[in-house]
Amino acid sequence: MSTDTARRLVESMRDLLWERGYTGTSPKAVLRRAGAGQGSMYHHFAGKADLARSAIGENAQEMRAKADAELSGPAPAVERLAAYLRRERDVLRGCPIGGLTQDAELMADPQLRAPVTETLAWLRSRLAEVLAEAVAAGELAPSLDPGATAATLVATLQGGYVLARAAGSPEPFDQAVAGVLGLLSAVRI
């Protein structure tokens, strides 16, 4: 980002997308949050959608980097998966990427939808790699389907966010994670 104002605009949009979604975020709210003057957004970006693409792209990049760091390393694959699933999250805010799927206006725009779907696909793929590694290392049963299990893990996390937000408590999320870890332990060798 070339200027401090542009950086503040992107950071403000990132926060507002997480709090309100795309439809609920007005250019005025972004400018107010960024402490930027009227017209600043249009000086740095073609409009709200262009700014949102930058913000979503940064959220996606950050999510991928953090997940990849947690899923990589020398520990056994099953331990890395468990650590990733148990890591501290701001559960009641939901997932900054997955939560965007609930915004019909955003999902109707192929350019805004692309980083969301690509990031969730990447996560399924990365989890499948770690699960395949666990199977190859003899940590998990050879009958385990890494692709289907990775989809289950992502669905559990995303669904856990929804249940937690509905309950106003992280407990349903924690129960979902405990449940899926119990299922994984049932196929441990």
137 Cβ neighbours under 8 A, 6+ residues apart:
76, 77
Residue at token pair 């699960």: 131
CA angle, 98 then 104 then 106, to 5°: 70
pLDDT band per the 50, 70, 90 thresholds, residue 188: confident
Question: What are phi and psi for residue 38, nearest 5 degrees?
Answer: -60, 135
User: Residue 2: is its pLDDT beyond 90?
Assistant: no
Q: DSSP string covering 97-123, please?
A: TGGGGG-HHHHHSHHHHHHHHHHHHHH
User: Residue 75: is its pLDDT beyond 70?
Assistant: yes
Q: Give the pLDDT score at 3.
A: 86
Q: What's the CA gap between 93 and 164, in Å, rounded? A: 9
Q: Give the pLDDT score at 1.
A: 45
Q: What is the mean pLDDT of residues 169-179?
A: 98
User: Residue 48: is its pLDDT beyond 50?
Assistant: yes
User: Residue 112: is its pLDDT beyond 60?
Assistant: yes
Q: What is the mean pLDDT of the chain?
A: 95
58 Cβ neighbours under 8 A, 6+ residues apart:
10, 14
Ordered domains of the chain (ranges, CATH):
55-186 (1.10.357.10)
Q: What is the mean pLDDT of residues 94-102?
A: 95
The tokens of 111 are what? 């350019």
The tokens of 142 are what? 């050879």
Q: What is the mean pLDDT of residues 34-59?
A: 93
The model's pTM is 0.92
Q: What's the CA gap between 27 and 34, in Å, rounded? A: 11
Q: What's the CA gap between 73 and 15, in Å, rounded? A: 30
Q: What is the mean pLDDT of residues 63-80?
A: 96
User: Residue 39: is its pLDDT beyond 90?
Assistant: no
Q: Give the pLDDT score at 163.
A: 97
Q: Give the pLDDT score at 114.
A: 97
Q: What's the CA gap between 57 and 159, in Å, rounded? A: 23
